[in-house]
Amino acid sequence: MRDSSTPVRETVEHHLVSHGFRAAIPALRQSYQQNDFAEIPAFMPDEIFRSTLQELQDLFDGQSRRRDTNIEQSGCTPRRFTTLARDIIANGSSTIPAVFESSALRAALEEIVDEKVLPVPYEPEQYIATRLHEPGDVHGWHWDDYTWALVWIFKMPDENNGGSLEYVKDVPWDPTNPRVKEYVTAGPVTRRHPSAGSAYLLKAGTTLHRVSPLTYAAERMMVCFSFASVTDLESKHDHESIQALF
C-alpha cells in the first residue's frame, strides 16, 4: 500500500472538522432528508484534490481495465467505462484510503443521514474509481449493494454532453426481477450534474440510479466510497454485480 502519510491523514481530518465544513452540515442534512441526495462542494482542500487527481490519472494510465458489459442483476443495463479496482487504488493512492478510513468523515455522514454509518465489510466495494471518456460510455441503471455511496468527482463533462447523475428514489431492488424500465417510466427521474471537486452522498441501496451516456468524447472521472447501515450488516449480500465488473 502506498504510504498514507500522517500529514495527508491530518489534513483530511482537519478539513472535515473545520468550521467551514461543519457549517454546511445542516443544509446537507436537509437536502438528504428531502431528496436522498446531498452535494458537498469543495469536498477536500485544493492541494488534496490536486494530488489525488494526479494519483488517479497515473493509475488510469497504467493499471485500469476497460469494461463493456450488461449486468443481469439490474435488468441487463449497460456498463461501458474504464475502471480501477479497490486494491489498485489502495496500493497507488495516499489519499483515497485515508478518506475512506476517516472517523471524522463517518461522523459527518452520520449527522447528515441521522443514523449509524459503517465501513462496508466487503473490501472490493469499499472504494472504486470509474472513468467515462468515449462516446456512448455509460454507467447504466442500477442499485448499490450497500446503503450509501459517496462519490467524489474529479472530472466532469459539459452538462449537455451527459455524465449526469439520474435517479429514482424509494424503489426496492429485487435482483431476480429488477423492473428497471417500469420504475424509470413511472419516475420521477431526478437529474443532477455535480461539479468537479465536489462530492455527493446518495442513498444508493434504495435509489435506482445511473450516469447518463456521453454523447461525445469527454471525461467523467470519479471515486465512489461505499458505506453500510447497521441493517446492511445484518443482511446477506452476494456481490455478483460488483464481481462482474472488478
Domains along the chain with CATH numbers = 6-245 (2.60.120.620)
Average pLDDT (149-176) is 96
Average pLDDT (154-182) is 95
- Residue 139 phi/psi, 5-degree rounding, is -110, 95
The pTM of the full predicted model, rounded to 2 decimals, is 0.94
Model pLDDT, residue 246: 56
Which range is least confidently modeled, 56-60, 88-92, 100-104, 239-243?
239-243
All three cell numbers of 223, joined, read: 471515486
Q: Per-residue confidence at 1, pLDDT binned at 50, 70, 90? A: very low
Average pLDDT (216-233) is 96
Beta bridge partners of 38: 201
CB 119 within 8 A of CB 100: yes
Q: Determine the Cα–Cα distance for residues 201 and 72; give it in Å rounded to an integer.
A: 25
- What is the CB neighbour count within 10 angstroms for residue 3? 7
Host H or E run for residue 13? helix 6-16
Model pLDDT, residue 113: 98
Can you give the length of the chain in residues? 246
Angle at 125 between CA 34 and CA 110, to 5 degrees: 35
Would the pLDDT of 244 be above 90?
Answer: no
Q: What share of the chain is helix, strand, coil (3-state, %, to 5)?
A: 40, 25, 35
Question: How large a percentage of the chain has pLDDT more than 70?
Answer: 93
All three cell numbers of 139, joined, read: 454507467
* 11: helix, strand or coil: helix
Cα–Cα nearest to 217, from 137, 140, 155, 129? 137
- What is the CB neighbour count within 10 angstroms for residue 1? 11
Average pLDDT (168-184) is 95
Q: Determine the Cα–Cα distance for residues 208 and 172; give it in Å rounded to an integer.
A: 8
Cα–Cα nearest to 183, from 53, 64, 75? 75
CB 224 within 8 A of CB 149: yes
Would the pLDDT of 199 be above 50?
Answer: yes
- Give CA separation, 116 vs 112, 170, 213, 242, in Å: 10, 20, 34, 24
Q: Give residues with Cβ within 8 angstroms of 152, minimum separation 6.
A: 43, 44, 99, 199, 222, 223, 224, 225
All three cell numbers of 82, joined, read: 474504464
